[in-house]
Chain A
């Protein structure tokens, strides 16, 4: 999956972009997992993800998990 050009989490505006990420986007985590956003409280801190790929622990696929912004590497879809 390629990095999103629409949702750039780097730089000074990255925090605002993260806060407003819509549901349905796919995200890559620092541990290599891929997840789909299924909930965003818009507090700029956390997202609720449905895990789609989990190379280090395949049993997590299909589970929902709250993740924090430092755990996010990049957005890998443009919605």
Chain B
């Protein structure tokens, strides 16, 4: 059992979650001890989404991304063209070796003492390296390269990394959601790895705990009914005011049933759609800008051929909105992740995908839609930010933190399926099952000594707490 110190003494983490009534203590969101343990137990072990290959397309291209509170340098090597990820911290005195967000570099030279690293992270030089009264050629460069992540994975263009060399493979980590992630990396004509993302992408900081958005944005329809009421009325879909501003036009009309699922062993969850037959429905015009539907219709017809005898995965046909534990949420066109900075500060990054091969007028239309829908200058997420911003200060007071949050929507109604491995709980499609699954995984990580205690390395584990 792992404990933290609170204003009322030491408490076991397990005591913060009331599994009989479906509630969670606010301490989990406002307590500094909890946050520090999360950085070690969760962000130090999990596979984390760190970017997309299209952000570093050429040899020497780099971008600075994040894993937890730490900066990570993502760079495509000039020689073997592979993408690698390193801690953005000089091995000599810890200075950042890269202080730009994105670019192309021959080498990364620390501005402190000029320790210099190539695009494969190797130490290739240092100031005074050959000077007789300094290093005199005795600095062992092979031992002092940049710290590389424990494991790295390029999964159909999406980039993932973990610090933990003993973490399971990425495919095992994602489990039954792997096919959905792959599907959402397809271009509109159904080609694998067919997307690129717009750059620069959106970033902003919010004064709230990382779990406020990251745990409750995973399929949360009831928030939309209120939070996004005005924006939906204002019709900001691709069609703008035409056809009532419908933003669901691209969704497939294949017969289906939708659920909210929570994988209590893996922590993932969100929307899950069972399609009842193979194939795709005909394309429906969805775009206001001239010529954009022509492009997407042609691409869709190619995809219809590819899917003629295939049933789409559960997040197929724009039915996505799944979260990959701990801090990534994915739709077919929008990939969002949350980087914790402090217990009450989180940084949100949003990537928007578009077909690599799309012509400029199509890319422009998608980009403009993303801008007016998402981000600080968009409409929808400004609504969300208003909530996230005020949750934290309204929860951290000595009185407020005594009252638990309610996560009981659909509590006790979930069902397992024999054909789905693990502990994937299917519940009604407006419930909070995915949120609860995240707390099952959260507690497992916070109490585990190593991956040996955690599913799927421990195949017999059952982390479901409610």
List residues of A whose CB falls within 8 A of some B CB.
31, 39-41, 43, 45-46, 48, 66-68, 70-71
14 contacts between A and B (CB under 8 A): A31-B130, A40-B106, A41-B105, A41-B109, A46-B107, A46-B109, A46-B114, A66-B107, A66-B116, A66-B124, A67-B125, A68-B126, A68-B128, A70-B128
Asked whether, in the complex, the Cβ of A46 is within 8 Å of the Cβ of B125, the reply is: yes
Q: Which residues of A contact B109 (CB under 8 A)?
A: 41, 43, 45-46
Q: Which residues of A contact B131 (CB under 8 A)?
A: 70
* 8 tightest A-B CB contacts, nearest first: A66-B125, A41-B106, A66-B124, A39-B106, A45-B114, A45-B109, A68-B127, A43-B109
C-alpha gap A70/B134 in the complex (Å): 12
Looking across the interface, which residue of chain A has its beta carbon closest to that of B124? A66
Q: Which residues of B contact A40 (CB under 8 A)?
A: 106
Looking across the interface, which residue of chain A has its beta carbon closest to that of B114? A45
B37 within 8 A of A: no
B182 CB, min distance to chain A CBs, angstroms: 37
Asked whether, in the complex, the Cβ of A48 is within 8 Å of the Cβ of B106, the reply is: yes
Interface residues of B in 120-168 (CB under 8 A from A): 124-131
- The secondary structure that dominates the B interface is loop
C-alpha gap A46/B127 in the complex (Å): 9
Q: Which residues of B contact A67 (CB under 8 A)?
A: 125
Q: What bracket does the count of chain B residues touching chain A fall in?
A: 10 to 19
Asked whether, in the complex, the Cβ of A68 is within 8 Å of the Cβ of B106, the reply is: no
C-alpha gap A45/B106 in the complex (Å): 12
C-alpha gap A50/B116 in the complex (Å): 17
Partner of B127, one of A43, A48, A70: A70
Q: Which residues of B contact A31 (CB under 8 A)?
A: 130
Interface string of B438-461 (1 = CB under 8 A from A): 000000000000000000000000
Looking across the interface, which residue of chain A has its beta carbon closest to that of B117? A66
C-alpha gap A39/B104 in the complex (Å): 13
A18 CB, min distance to chain B CBs, angstroms: 13
C-alpha gap A71/B114 in the complex (Å): 13
B62 CB, min distance to chain A CBs, angstroms: 12
Interface residues of B in 268-322 (CB under 8 A from A): none
C-alpha gap A43/B129 in the complex (Å): 18
A-B contacts besides A66-B125, A68-B125, 10 pairs, CB < 8 Å? A31-B130, A40-B106, A41-B105, A46-B107, A46-B114, A66-B107, A66-B116, A68-B129, A70-B127, A71-B130
Q: Which residues of A contact B105 (CB under 8 A)?
A: 41
Interface string of B66-109 (1 = CB under 8 A from A): 00000000000000000000000000000000000000011101
A46 touching B116 in the complex, CB below 8 Å, given contacts A66-B107, A67-B125? yes
Q: Which residues of A contact B114 (CB under 8 A)?
A: 45-46, 68
C-alpha gap A66/B123 in the complex (Å): 10
C-alpha gap A40/B106 in the complex (Å): 7
C-alpha gap A41/B104 in the complex (Å): 9
C-alpha gap A40/B107 in the complex (Å): 9
Q: Which residues of B contact A39 (CB under 8 A)?
A: 106
Looking across the interface, which residue of chain B has its beta carbon closest to that of A67? B125
C-alpha gap A31/B109 in the complex (Å): 23
Q: Which residues of A contact B125 (CB under 8 A)?
A: 46, 66-68
Q: Which residues of A contact B126 (CB under 8 A)?
A: 68
B58 CB, min distance to chain A CBs, angstroms: 15
Q: Which residues of B contact A71 (CB under 8 A)?
A: 130
Looking across the interface, which residue of chain B has its beta carbon closest to that of A44? B109
C-alpha gap A66/B124 in the complex (Å): 7
Looking across the interface, which residue of chain A has its beta carbon closest to that of B118? A66
C-alpha gap A48/B119 in the complex (Å): 13
Most buried by A among B106, B109, B114, B124: B106
A38 CB, min distance to chain B CBs, angstroms: 10
Asked whether, in the complex, the Cβ of A41 is within 8 Å of the Cβ of B107, the reply is: yes
A43 CB, min distance to chain B CBs, angstroms: 5
Interface string of B348-364 (1 = CB under 8 A from A): 00000000000000000
C-alpha gap A45/B127 in the complex (Å): 9
Q: Which residues of A contact B128 (CB under 8 A)?
A: 68, 70
A34 CB, min distance to chain B CBs, angstroms: 16
Q: Which residues of B contact A46 (CB under 8 A)?
A: 107, 109, 114, 116, 125
Q: Which residues of A contact B124 (CB under 8 A)?
A: 66
Most buried by B among A41, A45, A66: A66
B327 CB, min distance to chain A CBs, angstroms: 34
Q: Which residues of B contact A45 (CB under 8 A)?
A: 109, 114, 116, 127
B352 CB, min distance to chain A CBs, angstroms: 31
B285 CB, min distance to chain A CBs, angstroms: 49
C-alpha gap A79/B126 in the complex (Å): 27
